[in-house]
Amino acid sequence: MRAEQVVIAQLTDTHISVGDHGLGQAYWDENTRRLRSAVRSLNAETEPPAVVIGTGDLVECGSTAAYEILTEITSQLNMPFWPLPGNHDSRVNIRKSFPEMPWEENHASWSQEVPDTDIQVIALDTTQAGRQGGFVDAERLEWVADQIDQATWARKPCVVATHHPPFLTGIDWMDAMGFEGFDELRAVFIEHPPTQIISGHFHRNITAQVGTTVASVGIATTMHINLDLSNAAVPSIINDPIGYQLLSIPNDEEPQVITHTRFIDRASVARPIQVQI
């Protein structure tokens, strides 16, 4: 028996870095400041998340120094932090930095149960070294299908986390990065539907449906991809409000996930109001 609801948080695309990388150190320092702000906000949630899932691009260039900053900040969370790699991460260094994770041997995927619940989180590695777009091969497709089936047979809600989303967004210049194995992965999710799919990579809230499953991209703590759905859109980023996702999973007979966005670094605060029902 678990609580009336379990909350899982999603942090994504934090892009921690050491060095200039042509954008100036102040840009990367701001990313670090924003992640610290997100951690403080997560720790202040009135319904604390059971875990925080980091859906990739957690650092900018995969350096050991960047992961040292990432682990120093995420160690201040009052709940476990479960990372998976994005195309900017280093598979080797993310494994070294988070040795407690049950990484798969041939890819940086993992699957584990949220503590004190029956909820399974299945993190699928969609990266390949040197590739900006997504990648899954036959081994990973078989692995994720098996993990979903195990959760389904056990009647456990399961959340699949990826960095690259398994749907096209309409932001053409980002979609054009490609995803090898895209159709095959979608077919797996249609035949073996998880309760929810959460992803990163696009830095902004996007929701789609893959078969019978709701799939979403989480809001980033860094600059967002500019929302321009025209075919002539040029690559651009925008300083939109930042934050993270909160996934509420009620203790219902039929598993479902309700997703909320927490905006942070805002000037206003909540104030009580009178409501008549």
Tell me, what CATH number does 221's domain have?
3.60.21.10
Query: 12 in a domain, yes or no?
Result: yes
How far apart CA 63 and CA 124 sit, in angstroms, is 22
Query: 72 in a domain, yes or no?
Result: yes
- Averaged pLDDT score across all residues of the chain: 94
The model carries a pTM of 0.95
Query: 233 in a domain, yes or no?
Result: yes
Provide the domain limits for residue 159.
5-264
CA dihedral for 176, 257, 99, 58, sign (positive or negative): positive
Vertex 178, ends 172 and 182: CA angle to 5°? Answer: 115
Query: 192 in a domain, yes or no?
Result: yes
Mean pLDDT within 7-26: 88
At 21, the pLDDT band (50, 70, 90 cuts) reads low
The answer, yes or no, to whether residue 205 has pLDDT greater than 90, is: yes
Query: 274 in a domain, yes or no?
Result: no
Query: What pLDDT sits at residue 189?
Result: 99
Query: What pLDDT sits at residue 55?
Result: 99
- Into how many domains does the chain fold? 1
Mean pLDDT within 108-135: 97
At 1, the pLDDT band (50, 70, 90 cuts) reads very low
Task: Kindly state the tokens that stand for 220.
Answer: 């980033």
How far apart CA 7 and CA 78 sit, in angstroms, is 14
How far apart CA 28 and CA 103 sit, in angstroms, is 28
Query: 273 in a domain, yes or no?
Result: no
At 277, the pLDDT band (50, 70, 90 cuts) reads low
Query: 277 in a domain, yes or no?
Result: no
Residues 6+ apart with CB under 8 A from 28: 15, 16, 17, 18, 19, 20, 21, 60
- Note the pLDDT tens digit of each residue in 163-203: 999 999 999 999 999 999 999 999 999 999 999 999 999 99
Q: What is the percentage of the chain residues whose pLDDT exceeds 70?
A: 96
- Note the pLDDT tens digit of each residue in 47-91: 999 999 999 999 999 999 999 999 999 999 999 999 999 999 999
How far apart CA 81 and CA 246 sit, in angstroms, is 14
